[in-house]
Structure 1
Amino acid sequence: MSSPLNVLWKKEEQSNLGYIDIFAVVGHEVNLAEHDKAVEQSGPNGKNNVNAAEHQAKGKQLFEDGDYIAAIRELNNSLALYTADSPELGSVYAERSKCFLQLDLPQKALIDIELAKKSSYTHELTAREDKCKYLLEDEEFKAKQFTGHEPTLSFNEHETFAGVAGCLEFRKSDDFGYHVVTTRDLKIGQTVLVEPSFAITPALSSASRYSRCGGCYKELENFVPSKISSFCVYCNGNCIKNSLHEEMSMSTLKETTELVEPILQKIVSAFPDIDVLVKTVESLQKGEDVTDLTSTVQKQACSLFRLINKHEISTDQQFKLRPAADTFVTVMKKPHFGRIFNTEERQRFLKHLILHLHNVTEYAIDLYELQQEDIDEPIRGHTFVHYATAIYPFGGYIKHSCVPNVIWFSVDDRLIAKVIRPIEKGEQILRSYHPGTHSFQLDNDLEEKHVEIRYKFKCNCCRCLDDEPSSPPTKLHVDQDPLWVEVAAVIDMTVKDFWALSSQAIEQYEKKAIELVAKYNSVYPNHDVLFMRDNLMLIWILLAQTQKSR
């Protein structure tokens, strides 16, 4: 009996059908008819006016309680659930405009007021509109607004990969497989990655689904609903049009599984000639470089396809066959897929491609946002909340270390990587695979277990091998260092106080934090130095926050 691990991309002997049918392997048969029935019964999340009204009522109550962010989230949820012809849509926009106004976001409140009017709702809007216009003209109010710092690369952009510094490149070795190195020396604080996702899906919690755009993943915008799906809300019509979630069947309970369908749709669209796709995949399977592709998306697809070569494909293929079957029967219901994969030979190729992509998504990256329950509380009380899972054609190749030289966080759907330790030319770029944004945890055993279970390898970094300076050769007296005192003061501030600082003051905090981390780099990863590094990371994340209300 063949094991599922061995059947991926295996061809039939003495047959003109190409690849074997992975769903008909003896001992691992998958009944596609049963999966087809299950997909039909699940379908996309539907509109429901009763549920929508319940979320609207929750939003109103949260507004009365002064929790305006949570109120907006509930109102977004109600917008997603109301049918397109519901007369209540206008009242939801009107309620949300009140929240934006309370958050000192009059421009967004005005947009919602206009949306309410277009939905034939005009009750009590005139006075609110006048107040918004007054605030937008008030010089004192404008001076208090915090606009955030848009993350930008410190170097010219890569020729192939958007949002990637041109000084980064792929290398391949027997020890590391494909990995990322720098072609120049890098300094602490430099930004080497602002990479948009190839595909992204929101976290399973409904709170995350309705707090960000389902297309661009921006937060706290004037979201509008889709007319056909309640899965997400969107910034505008363009985001709805460009989103791959609109036609997806959301019956899975795992974000990485949800990613397969949008990745597949993007790849198939990038290869209108299916024979070119088959030829490309076969070349990649042989380990050959494909050099005759002109489309950027095609090149990114090749990068994603090779992603599973980083580590050995996991042996639990039997557990991936069933979700792969769900994906297959779902996409084959789409007319576009039915026309392209119109023969048994092509359908078998598609089945293998889908199973391959289910392996690729194991290297998707979970994105986290910094949340503060009360902006009047110290920053040290923050939490990181999972809001999406995404796949990155370049960032996915940055390998793991418990002692990384870059730290990462996300803005919208973009993966940001900033240098946290000096990196010499030719040195490998390393990030942490540990859950959450913090890559340093006190419990090494839990860290190692997470990496082994999720990514199927054992970390051999200096920290896991106990080959690290557990303590500096002499006492640091960190608490007596003036730089430490200044930088540590940041997490004792409230979010509100931080955003009240001038741009110059914030830049000075960032400069001093970089100086402090560089000063003690020789004893990294000493606990105190990691604490300093995390302070610097918090400054970068707060700088990237584009809304004062966050």
Structure 2
Amino acid sequence: MDDIRTELLNKIKAAGRGNEMTFKFKLMETDELRVVMALSMMEMFGMVPKATCATKNHKTSIKLKNEANRIFVSSKDNVDDFIKAWETYSKSIAAAPNKSEELSLAYANRSAVLLRLHRYAECIEDINRALELNYPNKLRGKLLFRKIECLGASENSNDVCKVLDEATSWLENITLEDDEKQKYKVKLDCAKNSNFTESPKSKMTKNIPKIDHHPKIPCASEALALKYNDKFGRHIVTTRKIQAGEILVVEKPYAKILMPEEAYTHCSHCLQLHWALIPCETCTNAMYCSKKCKSEAWKQYHDIECPITGYLLTLGYNKRSLFSMRLAILALREVGSLKKLKFLAEFADSQKGFAEDGIYHSEKYCALHTLVTNVDKRSVFDLFERALNAAFILFYLYTKTTLFGKQFSPSLNDLAMNDDITYFGGIIMRQMQIIPSNIHSYEEERRVETVDIGAAALPFCSLINHSCDPNVSRCSSGDYMIVFAIIPIDKGAQIYDNYGIHYAVMDKYERREKLKQFYFECECTACKKDWPTYEKLTSFNIMSISNDKKKKIAKLLENFNDYVDYATEDEIEDKPYLLIELPKIISNLLKYVPLPCCEVNNAVETFKRVFALTYGNKFEFPKLR
């Protein structure tokens, strides 16, 4: 899109109409009018959207499968190589035409990696899928013996016997060279007399913590209240003393979206890691953990996204732009018509996001619509860029999907004249302004890192303001986002999240530059007093505090290094006491030392890590035996 925008601007400049177009664009008072003007400019200067789109292709699938084979075969029992091969096989599966032999071969080959990674149930899933498709009969023996090994590892003796009988029948009826047939007979005899090792047990699904719900805000604790003033806008305060470690919000997102680069390792609908993903039958951009997720995605939004996401990716659209389209589609689907969507938008503005029943439903568009757009603070160029992006998305929705009842002919003029559909373009542009200031990262733990795998629209969490020294933190957990206190918070105090711009990792100047994207200047204590970054933080040992306090702190921290090691090595499963002990350490440290303090920072970060490992999403790397 950068090239297209530059080309359009150059054409406007070459025609000597730059000042005129800027002046006219400034006069546009709504997002709908801005999108209409972008469409008109595209028509005026011959910028009809044109892009190619990756489609399912035999050659592409075979090429990816061969690349995965190379990685797998050349690996020297390295789990990271196996993970790379597994992901590349998934890409081959996504690229393979529906019900083709290439699809069956890709499933079969991925099952080999899954066996090596001890993912036995998922390996069997892939084997069954391959066998149900056009898998070559002469190769079926390999899969049957692989399935026997998986079933044996799972100690499922009844199913092992059934597959042994199937393998025996296959061997008796297949025409093979004598030496090859003999090899299979030896394998069959070995399988019948094998003592299989037990499969590693899958961990239970993590429980989502419970809270006492606020009567008007179901996702929030009763200890919170929504307030408004001119300085902070809508913001969240406490109604009682909050203890460190207390859970304050458990919010189900209005919607989530997966990063495009995670599409072959995680489900495109629920965003969870899955080892045996199944593809969309039409496009190459979405894979799912189950038929249920696949069906839900199709009914909610993917039937519309499927024909056009490939074009948008080719044009360089990123996660945020794609999410703006999804949010708009979901809003329209929620109410059923553009007329009802207009009514809902007007009602939401009048009620500050609360629904007709007086409840703030964070899973409804009414709450999402009212999040801040900062439209009055944006430059003309910023708004033009978003209008042009929205116009392109609208054009593809208009011409390649049935979102508006049918597919229309590719006429920019006709589109610009259709008031109902251009209103929807304005909704897309609105999401493009909401997203930068409100949308949250959806994350998972990978070894010692926290990795951004997607984005979530969380209307209530978006009302929590920023501080460079926050008092709460967030944790992505399956279908929910959990917000928890990381330090004690006084009654009547505002709760503050961190927008990825923390005093410990950025100096004040860098933080202020980064925060410009949110259109405010932070006034937290860390900014007012210009606290140092982590490497310059003071330890309690050299602070001007009494020896008695230093002795108490040393006693308090006597097991802390062990806690850090447990958190670093992810050895917390049998140590639930860490979620109690670490908040205690934080609370007591704050009684003894002034801020900023190195030990307080360390305790908070360790607690956040333990909380994420306990409740959050996690990419568990298999251990090879």
Q: TM-score, normalised by structure 1?
A: 0.82
Are residue 387 (structure 1) and residue 450 (structure 2) matched? no
Other structure's SS at 2:210 match: coil
Residue number among 582, 585, 589 corresponding to 1:520 in the alignment: 589
User: How far 1:219 moved relative to its partner?
Assistant: 0.2
CA offset digits 1:458-511 (Å, max 9, x no partner): 222111111769645546586773132221222553x5xx2xx6x43x213333
Are residue 63 (structure 1) and residue 138 (structure 2) matched? no
Other structure's SS at 2:283 match: coil
Residue correspondence of structure 1 range 271-350 to structure 2 within 5 A: 271-285=335-349, 291-292=355-356, 300-308=364-372, 313-315=377-379, 316-333=382-399, 334-338=401-405, 344-350=418-424
Are residue 92 (structure 1) and residue 106 (structure 2) matched? yes
Stretch deviating more after TM superposition (515-524 or 359-368): 515-524
User: How far 1:81 moved relative to its partner?
Assistant: 0.8
Residue correspondence of structure 1 range 223-242 to structure 2 within 5 A: 223-242=277-296
Does the 8 Å CA contact 1:404/1:432 hold for their aligned counterparts?
A: yes
Tell me how far apart the structure 2 counterparts of residues 82 and 153 of structure 1 sit (CA, whole Å): 41
Other structure's SS at 2:528 match: coil
- Paired residues, what number? 517
1:369 alignment partner in structure 2? 444
2:147 alignment partner in structure 1? 129
2:133 alignment partner in structure 1? 119
2:88 alignment partner in structure 1? 74
Please tell me the residue identity of whatever aligns with 1:384. Answer: T
Tell me how far apart the structure 2 counterparts of residues 84 and 351 of structure 1 sit (CA, whole Å): 33
With over 3 angstroms needed to count, the CA separation of the structure-2 counterparts of 1:247 and 1:548, relative to structure 1, is same
Tell me how far apart the structure 2 counterparts of residues 33 and 230 of structure 1 sit (CA, whole Å): 34
Please tell me the residue identity of whatever aligns with 2:442. Answer: L
Please tell me the residue identity of whatever aligns with 2:371. Answer: L
How much identity, in percent, do the aligned residues show?
18
Other structure's SS at 2:55 match: coil
With over 3 angstroms needed to count, the CA separation of the structure-2 counterparts of 1:189 and 1:6, relative to structure 1, is farther
Tell me how far apart the structure 1 counterparts of residues 220 and 114 of structure 2 sit (CA, whole Å): 35
User: How far 1:233 moved relative to its partner?
Assistant: 0.9
Are residue 532 (structure 1) and residue 603 (structure 2) matched? yes
Tell me how far apart the structure 1 counterparts of residues 602 and 134 of structure 2 sit (CA, whole Å): 54
1:192 alignment partner in structure 2? 248
Residue number among 360, 363, 369 corresponding to 2:434 in the alignment: 360
Residue correspondence of structure 1 range 417-428 to structure 2 within 5 A: 417-428=483-494
Does the 8 Å CA contact 2:34/2:384 hold for their aligned counterparts?
A: no
1:462 alignment partner in structure 2? 525
User: How far 1:276 moved relative to its partner?
Assistant: 3.3
With over 3 angstroms needed to count, the CA separation of the structure-2 counterparts of 1:59 and 1:411, relative to structure 1, is farther
Other structure's SS at 1:336 match: coil
Stretch deviating more after TM superposition (522-531 or 392-401): 522-531
1:24 alignment partner in structure 2? 37
More helix by share: 2
Task: Give me the CA root mean square deviation.
Answer: 3.6
CA offset digits 1:103-162 (Å, max 9, x no partner): 333222222222222224434123332332333339x97796461661523314556767
Residue correspondence of structure 1 range 497-508 to structure 2 within 5 A: 498=571, 503-504=573-574, 506-508=575-577
1:416 alignment partner in structure 2? 482
CA offset digits 1:193-222 (Å, max 9, x no partner): 343332333224x3x121110111110332
Q: TM-score, normalised by structure 2?
A: 0.73
User: How far 1:56 moved relative to its partner?
Assistant: 1.8
Please tell me the residue identity of whatever aligns with 2:558. Answer: P
Does the 8 Å CA contact 2:254/2:456 hold for their aligned counterparts?
A: yes
Tell me how far apart the structure 1 counterparts of residues 582 and 359 of structure 2 sit (CA, whole Å): 41
Does the 8 Å CA contact 1:403/1:525 hold for their aligned counterparts?
A: no
With over 3 angstroms needed to count, the CA separation of the structure-2 counterparts of 1:150 and 1:401, relative to structure 1, is same
Please tell me the residue identity of whatever aligns with 2:329. Answer: Q
Are residue 259 (structure 1) and residue 323 (structure 2) matched? yes
Are residue 147 (structure 1) and residue 203 (structure 2) matched? yes
1:247 alignment partner in structure 2? 304
Tell me how far apart the structure 2 counterparts of residues 487 and 546 of structure 1 sit (CA, whole Å): 19
CA offset digits 1:232-255 (Å, max 9, x no partner): 211122222222345322314321
Residue correspondence of structure 1 range 175-214 to structure 2 within 5 A: 175-204=231-260, 206=261, 208-214=262-268
With over 3 angstroms needed to count, the CA separation of the structure-2 counterparts of 1:82 and 1:143, relative to structure 1, is closer
Other structure's SS at 1:446 match: helix
Tell me how far apart the structure 2 counterparts of residues 146 and 290 of structure 1 sit (CA, whole Å): 41
2:510 alignment partner in structure 1? 446
Of structures 1 and 2, the larger Rg is shown by 2
What 5-or-longer segments of structure 2 have no aligned partner? 1-21, 157-195, 408-414
Are residue 488 (structure 1) and residue 568 (structure 2) matched? no
With over 3 angstroms needed to count, the CA separation of the structure-2 counterparts of 1:533 and 1:311, relative to structure 1, is farther
CA offset digits 1:52-85 (Å, max 9, x no partner): 2222223233333132222221111111111113
Residue number among 85, 91, 109 corresponding to 2:123 in the alignment: 109
Are residue 432 (structure 1) and residue 442 (structure 2) matched? no
Please tell me the residue identity of whatever aligns with 2:66. Answer: A
Are residue 51 (structure 1) and residue 65 (structure 2) matched? no
Please tell me the residue identity of whatever aligns with 2:459. Answer: P
With over 3 angstroms needed to count, the CA separation of the structure-2 counterparts of 1:540 and 1:61, relative to structure 1, is farther
Does the 8 Å CA contact 1:213/1:234 hold for their aligned counterparts?
A: yes
With over 3 angstroms needed to count, the CA separation of the structure-2 counterparts of 1:545 and 1:291, relative to structure 1, is closer
1:173 alignment partner in structure 2? 229
Stretch deviating more after TM superposition (60-69 or 306-315): 306-315
